[in-house]
């Protein structure tokens, strides 16, 4: 299955490379692609320059991952064209993963209307402007609502990815990937909410 990472300038690096670490241990099942609207070199918040291919919404299938980070805020305010492409890509994807403030990006496209999302520290303006008609589950680290998975922070992107693997393949496979990564994943944890 393709996993399409949507990169934009000033994305939070580990929002992408944390989930990639888990899925990279499962190459039998997942193939990771790094995409952007410009198809060019993209800078993470942490100053890494990543080579990307073009995001072509019509070619998207499988999983779409949207990271958070400072750049997410810029997308929301200034970049209608990218939002449109991301919306179409998300419509085509079978599963959408959103890390931290990445959920605000997809919320802004209207796709998450009446969906449940994980809690995520946004400032008050963000919350008022970008999450009307959306139910944030207070204290939830990971939430899945239909094909939409969201999580509260960079590190919980690992939990979210592991839950997706458990749903799509098997919980034993997810547990083994967590073990190989050395990540203390609590697969019996009660914070995850499935709607």
Give me the half-sphere count of Cα atoms (radius 13 Å) on the Cβ side of residue 187: 18
Distance of alpha carbon 84 from alpha carbon 7, whole angstroms: 15
Q: Per rule CB under 8 A, is residue 23 in the interface with its own copies?
A: yes
Q: Per rule CB under 8 A, is residue 152 in the interface with its own copies?
A: yes
With CB under 8 A as the contact rule, the residue among 1, 9, 50, 176 that binds its own copies is 50
Distance of alpha carbon 95 from alpha carbon 62, whole angstroms: 6
Distance of alpha carbon 143 from alpha carbon 92, whole angstroms: 21
Of 12-20, 71-79, 87-95, 128-136: span binding its own copies (CB under 8 A): 12-20
Nearest Cα residue to 35 out of 80, 88, 107: 88
**CB within 8 A of 171, min separation 6: which ones?**
187
At residue 118, the 3 state secondary structure works out as strand
Q: Per rule CB under 8 A, is residue 68 in the interface with its own copies?
A: no
Per-residue binder mask for its own copies (CB under 8 A), 77-106, x = binder: -----------------------x------
Of 43-51, 89-97, 123-131, 168-176: span binding its own copies (CB under 8 A): 43-51
Q: Per rule CB under 8 A, is residue 150 in the interface with its own copies?
A: no
155 vs 166, beta carbon nearer its own copies: 155
Q: Per rule CB under 8 A, is residue 163 in the interface with its own copies?
A: no
| Chain mean position to CA 51 | 19
How many of the chain's residues bind its own copies (CB under 8 A)? 35
Q: Per rule CB under 8 A, is residue 154 in the interface with its own copies?
A: yes
Write phi, then psi, for 107 (nearest 5 degrees). Answer: -60, -40
32 vs 129, beta carbon nearer its own copies: 32
What does DSSP say about strands 148-151 and 135-137: parallel, antiparallel, or unpaired? unpaired
Which spans of this chain sit near its own copies (rule: CB under 8 A)? 12-14, 16-18, 20-21, 23-24, 32-34, 41, 44-51, 100, 141, 152-156, 158, 180-184
């Amino acid at each position: 299955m393709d996993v399409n990472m949507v990169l934009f300038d000033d994305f939070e690096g580990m929002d992408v490379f944390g989930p990639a670490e888990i899925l990279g241990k499962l190459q039998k099942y997942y193939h990771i692609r790094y995409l952007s609207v410009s198809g060019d070199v993209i800078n993470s918040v942490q100053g890494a320059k990543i080579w990307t291919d073009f995001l072509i919404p019509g070619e998207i299938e499988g999983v779409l991952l949207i990271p958070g980070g400072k750049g997410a805020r810029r997308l929301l305010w200034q970049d209608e064209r990218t939002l449109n492409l991301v919306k179409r890509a998300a419509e085509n994807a079978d599963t959408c993963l959103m890390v931290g403030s990445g959920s605000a990006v997809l919320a802004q496209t209207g796709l998450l209307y009446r969906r449940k999302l994980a809690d995520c520290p946004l400032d008050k303006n963000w919350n008022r402007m970008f999450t009307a008609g959306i139910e944030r589950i207070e204290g939830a680290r990971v939430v899945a609502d239909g094909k939409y998975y969201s999580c509260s922070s960079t590190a919980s992107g690992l939990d979210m990815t592991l839950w997706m693997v458990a749903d799509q393949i098997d919980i034993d496979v997810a547990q083994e990937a967590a073990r190989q990564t050395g990540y203390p994943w609590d697969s019996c944890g009660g914070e995850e909410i499935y709607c």
